[in-house]
């Protein structure tokens, strides 16, 4: 039953919560705070620029019964861009997500209703727009990619069943957003209507020897965004994931990979080309006294319209230890790589730092 619930919970959470919240491994009766610091430096000398973000995601899980629970997620973020002696900053609370789960069958079927409350910053002035735009990057993957997305509602359902030694999970959700004033230019407001989204998900997992394998695929179909009087499409997205964990002597080995493919869309002035971001991760975990240590390395590759656009090599160390009702998970990682001009192929050096401290009480 443990494996069936893990698959179902993954589907239900991913359908309605931001990635930063899903990654926090939420448990019943939990309060989670997870400060993140992410900073990337691109280029050198006169062309050097730095994009950094301090984000503090917060999540509260409220289980009312075995069949009904709610959770609340929000974050505070401060994002800054420094380039050519100029600095742009955007700071504040992001939107707040409320989510309710109901399982009439005690675990095999879950209905989920979510509400995105517009507590984030809207009507972004000109001097903050560069900072707001830089964090929405699939390749660099900042913890908070948007300060706000307007009032929105989501409904979803997830179902799990056993097929031999496999557990199969299926999920679907629909998101409807409302219009809001997104930018302010020369004292004029530009209104934005986010596209509706339909998401389909499939997950598989099973024990393999003394370990576990998991696979997942998610397809998100978007309608047309409307900015002021112009409509455009960001392109549908297909995400595939896979992982394998297994023990080797006194350590556990973890191998995982994900691939995000964004299909062709439309933007201001023409077509938006396809994009693909692929990531492979390998790590181990072992006990060092009362502390669990988890070093890992990962490689990320980015293509735009089939042309090399970037690569990134990350190495990180995460620890995990408990103290009473608290669990602490600090981590620190370093990155190096290149971003390429898709026309000329010219490379721009990139280096980065990522650190976080997840604190969970339950």
Which of the pair, 145 or 157, is modelled with greater confidence? 157
Contact between 81 and 131 (Cβ < 8 Å)? yes
For the chain, list the domains and their CATH numbers.
Answer: 2-361 (2.40.160)
What's the CA gap between 42 and 50, in Å, rounded? 6
Cα atoms in the 13 Å half-sphere on the side-chain side of 362: 18
The per-residue pLDDT for range 154-199, each reduced to its tens digit, is 999 999 999 999 999 999 999 998 887 666 555 566 677 788 899 9
117 DSSP β-pair partners? 96
Question: Nearest 5°: phi and psi at 43?
Answer: 75, -170
Cβ-based neighbour number of residue 64 at 10 Å:
10
Provide the CA 41 distance to its chain's centre, in angstroms: 21
**What burial class does residue 2 get, using C-beta atoms within 10 Å of its C-beta: 0-12 exposed, 13-18 middle, 19+ buried?**
exposed
Over 60: is that where the pLDDT of 201 sits?
Answer: yes
SS3 144: coil
Residues ≥6 apart with Cβ < 8 Å to 76: 55, 56, 58, 92, 93, 94
Distances, alpha carbon 80 to alpha carbons 58, 133, 183, 257, 341, in Å: 21, 11, 18, 30, 23
Model confidence over 308-340: pLDDT tens digits?
Answer: 999 999 999 999 999 999 999 999 999 999 999
């Amino acid at each position: 039953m443990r494996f069936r619930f893990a698959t179902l919970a993954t589907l239900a959470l991913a359908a309605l919560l931001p990635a930063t919240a899903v990654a926090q491994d939420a448990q019943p009766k939990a309060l989670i705070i997870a400060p993140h610091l992410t900073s990337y430096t691109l280029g050198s000398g006169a062309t050097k620029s730095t994009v950094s973000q301090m984000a503090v995601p917060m999540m509260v899980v409220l289980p009312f019964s075995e069949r009904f629970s709610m959770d609340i997620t929000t974050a505070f973020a401060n994002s800054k861009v420094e380039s050519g002696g100029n600095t742009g900053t955007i700071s504040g609370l992001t939107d707040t997500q409320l989510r309710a789960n109901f399982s009439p069958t005690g675990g095999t079927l879950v209905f989920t209703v979510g509400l995105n409350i517009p507590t984030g910053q809207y009507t972004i002035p000109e001097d903050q727009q560069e900072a707001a735009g830089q964090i929405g990057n699939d390749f660099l993957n900042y913890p908070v990619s948007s300060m706000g997305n307007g009032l929105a509602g989501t409904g979803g359902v997830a179902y799990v069943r056993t097929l031999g030694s496999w557990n199969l999970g299926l999920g679907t959700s629909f998101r409807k957003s409302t219009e809001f004033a997104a930018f302010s230019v020369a004292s004029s407001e530009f209104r934005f209507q986010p596209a509706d989204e339909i998401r389909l998900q499939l997950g598989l997992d099973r024990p393999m020897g003394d370990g576990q394998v998991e696979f997942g695929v998610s397809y998100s179909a978007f309608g047309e965004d409307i900015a002021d009087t112009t409509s455009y499409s960001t392109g549908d997205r297909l995400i595939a994931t896979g992982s394998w964990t297994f023990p080797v002597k006194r350590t556990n080995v973890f191998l995982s990979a994900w691939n995000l493919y964004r299909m062709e869309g439309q933007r201001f002035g023409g077509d938006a080309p396809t994009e693909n971001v692929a990531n492979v991760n390998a790590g181990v975990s072992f006990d060092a006294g009362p502390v669990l240590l988890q070093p890992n390395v990962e490689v990320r590759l980015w293509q735009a319209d089939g042309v090399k656009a970037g690569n990134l090599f990350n190495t990180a160390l995460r620890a995990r230890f408990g103290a009473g009702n608290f669990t602490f998970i600090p981590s620190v990682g370093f990155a190096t790589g290149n971003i390429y001009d898709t026309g000329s192929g010219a490379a721009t050096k990139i280096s980065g730092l990522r650190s976080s401290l997840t604190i969970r009480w339950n």
